Chains A and B, each alone.
Chain A
Amino acid sequence: MVTCYTLLMIGLPFAGDGLVHAGLLGLGILAALLFYAYEKRRRGLSDPRLWPIAGFAIAFGAIGSRALTWDVSRQVSLADWWGNGDRSILAGLVGAWLGVHLGKRLTGYREATGDLLAPAVALALVIGRVGCLLTELPGTPTGGAWGITLTSGQAAMLGGPPEVGLHPSFAYEIVFHLAAFGLMWRYRDRLPRSGDLFICYVTSYALFRFGVEFVRGNEVVWLGMSRPQWFLLMILPLLSWRMLRVFGKPFRPKLEGRVA
């Protein structure tokens, strides 16, 4: 029994390796751009303003992932935070959303772009989270045999307990985004309104992320919940209201042609 358990224990092969993390993140961005180009073509969308809008999403998403997590209560300057502070996918998504709206406002593009962007974001997160899985603190201790174990050196570097199986929370997230990508691929032309796909994806991710935060190992700030969970608690009512609007309308039949 001990032998089986030992065999199943998984290590962290690239703990703290920024190059591996950055490489997989870069691959994720590349995959997202290629998918965006493919989907744009499939839908017959040739408006030249769509590439600048994608650019706004990536630039402001990147800035948001660093700047929007800035915690002034910690008495840390923005510059220090920019270099050494937390980065967050959730803050990145908020930044990207703001960027898309700014881009649409400045270019005068009026149509919804969420359906075009949502599967590309999911694909980027599938690949990008592999980088997190291989390099970052995986999660809280788990009693299961599937946990990732850290050596004492890795534990000291990442701030986790050594020789204990830890929840592979990034693997859970990879599975979620993979499933979301598959579902969006299947139903991308069937939701009532343009843009609904993005609402469904973001809402389901918010719910999933709220749950997975309990095993992520992020700092608990109040009432047993982490900062991302408090942020999600604030935006979930708005997302739920938008979801009710999505499913209050009948699905449209599958369309053969091109749909914006």
Chain B
Amino acid sequence: MSEDTPDVPRNPPPPPQEEEKEPPKPGLGLLVLGILLGAPALYALYFGTTQGIAPDQGYKTFLAGPAAFLPIAVYLAVAVVLAVRPRTSRLGAGLLIGLGIFTLLGGGVCVGFLAQMRGEI
């Protein structure tokens, strides 16, 4: 009794391999997260601090004089490092956009006000 079966090829071709899947592209979620975290964080820091320099609050602030620019400089440095690293580039991009929004949309008033306070505190 032969095992040959004409309908079935002796050496069937290998099953088609799964098509090479491209690595999933990162979405815009981290970018949006960076914007939503960055700009409000800067606003909270600077508006919170300017409230603290009211005379009846006893000038409770550490961001007087040139130190007012310190958070922006640190924030910018962190955002640049994150933006340059491939794995965190979208978060870094979002943080950079957040800094731009904060600076353009009126955050400069708070920073400038704090920076002028050196001689008064």
Interface contact A83-B96, CB-CB below 8 Å: no
CB nearest to B110 among chain A residues: A83
- Spot the interface stretch: A59-67, A139-147, A151-159, A177-185: A59-67
> Which of A26, A84, A103, A106 has a CB less than 8 Å from the CB of B105?
A26
Contact B97 A59 (CB under 8 A): yes
A51 touches B93 (CB 8 A): yes
> A107 contacts B115, CB within 8 Å?
no
> What residue of chain B has the Cβ atom nearest to residue A105's Cβ?
B84
Contacts of B92 in A (CB 8 A): 52, 55
Closest to A49 in B: B89
A57-84 contact mask (Cβ, 8 Å, vs B): 1 or 0: 0110111011000000000010111111
Instruction: Collect the chain A residues with CB atoms within 8 Å of residue B100's CB.
Output: 29, 55, 58-59, 61-62
Q: Is the CB of A59 within 8 A of B96?
A: yes
Report whether over half of chain A's contact residues are helix, strand or loop; otherwise say mixed.
Answer: helix
A230 to chain B, nearest CB (A): 24
Q: Are A18 and B116 in contact (CB under 8 A)?
A: no
User: Are B93 and A52 within 8 A (Cβ)?
Assistant: yes
Q: Which bracket fits the contact residues of A?
A: 20 to 34
Measured between beta carbons, the chain A residues less than 8 angstroms from B66 are: 79
| A52 touching B104 in the complex, CB below 8 Å, given contacts A59-B79, A62-B99 | no
Q: A22-B106, A58-B100, A59-B76 are in contact. Are A82 and B90 (CB under 8 A)?
A: no
User: For A52, what are the chain B residues with a Cβ–Cβ distance below 8 Å?
Assistant: 83-84, 89-90, 92-93, 96
C-beta contact mask, A5-37 vs B, less than 8 Å → 1, else 0?
000000000000010001001100100010001
Of residues 194 to 250 in A, which have CB atoms within 8 Å of B's CB atoms?
Answer: none
Give A22's nearest chain B residue, CB to CB: B105
Complex contacts, B108 vs chain A, CB 8 Å: 66, 82-83
Which B residues lie within 8 Å of A170 (CB)? none
Q: Given A52-B89, A79-B68, A33 and B97 touching (CB < 8 A)?
A: yes
B78 close to chain A: CB less than 8 A: no
Known A25-B104, A46-B25, A62-B104: A83·B109 in contact at CB below 8 Å: yes
B71 part of interface (Cβ distance < 8 Å): no
Which of B76, B83, B116 has the most chain A CB within a 10 Å cutoff?
Answer: B83
List B residues at the A interface (Cβ < 8 Å).
Answer: 25-26, 28, 31, 65-66, 68-69, 76, 79-80, 83-84, 86, 89-90, 92-97, 99-106, 108-113, 115-116
Chain A residues engaging chain B, CB cutoff 8 angstroms = 18, 22, 25-26, 29, 33, 37, 46, 48-49, 51-52, 54-56, 58-59, 61-63, 65-66, 77, 79-84, 103, 106-107
Could you jot down 12 A-B contacts, CB within 8 Å? A18-B106, A37-B28, A52-B83, A52-B84, A56-B83, A56-B96, A59-B100, A62-B100, A65-B104, A82-B112, A84-B112, A106-B83
